Amino acid sequence: MTNEPDMSDPSPIILALPKGRILKEVRPLLTQAGIEPEPDFDDSASRKLQFETNHPGLKIIRVRSFDVATFVAFGGAQMGVCGNDVLMEFDYDGIYAPLDLDIGHCRLSIAEPKELSATDDPRRWSHVRVATKYPNITSRHFAARGVQAECIKLNGAMELAPALGLCRRIVDLVSTGATLKANGLVEIEQIADVTSRLVVNRAAFKTRSVELSGWIDRFRESVDALAA
């Protein structure tokens, strides 16, 4: 089998997975790929961060979605699952994203209060103040159309910012739209479509190519099998 441990590097491959709702979508892919984590993995109350699997050569770590990219880029993990929103925000050279896992579908959008949207004309903006977890994507997006963006970095609950006077607009992920609606906001422009990707550390992909290619192939087959 191609994804047996490389005897020249006996350390296990570390797979970094994001906590939260994406983890629920990743779980069937793991099963389909023949990866069974130790029982604590499915206990959301567990404080464990590292998990053994049924493969001696594969361990899982559970971290925040933005940190998946950081662990993989710096080689702390050889593989991971993260959204292209995170990849676009960080633009790490050390990450290769060979496979769209067809999970975590959502979009990165600009939103503003419903009342403001009734009269607002985004074509007239020359400067915007935006609350977001994505200052790099946001600045690049607005710069490309000649608008200067002043980003207020938040790590969550962006939807509160307009109501509390931090700014009038936000850039955030939208899935069902329920969070925007519950906070009186409407989507006015989509910046990017987002899905979760299997990502690999580029250096490890060279030195441990047999194992990592094996896992990429397994995940590809699993994505195809679940889509069929």
The token duo for 215 is 């896992």
CA angle 140, 141, 143 (to 5 degrees): 60
Residue 177 sits in the site that holds ligand PRP (CB under 6 A): yes
**Could you say whether residue 89 binds ligand PRP (CB under 6 A)?**
no
Segment near ligand PRP (CB under 6 A), from 55-63, 170-178, 202-210, 218-226? 170-178
Binding-site string for ligand PRP from residue 185 to residue 214, where x marks contact by CB under 6 A and - marks none? ------------------------------
Task: Provide, rounded to whole angstroms, the least separation between the CB of residue 161 and ligand PRP.
Answer: 11
Among 32, 117, 179, 209, binds ligand PRP (CB under 6 A): 179
Distance from C-alpha of 91 to C-alpha of 69, rounded to nearest angstrom: 10
Closest residue by Cα to residue 65 from 225, 208, 197: 197
- Paired with 170 in beta bridges are 111, 131
Residue identified by tokens 């959502």 is 106
Q: Is the dihedral of CA 81, 84, 90, 95 positive or negative?
A: positive
Q: Which of residues 17-36 bind ligand PRP (CB under 6 A)?
A: 20-21
Query: Does residue 173 interact with ligand PRP by CB under 6 A?
Result: yes
For ligand PRP, the binding residues (CB under 6 A) are: 20-21, 156-157, 159, 172-179
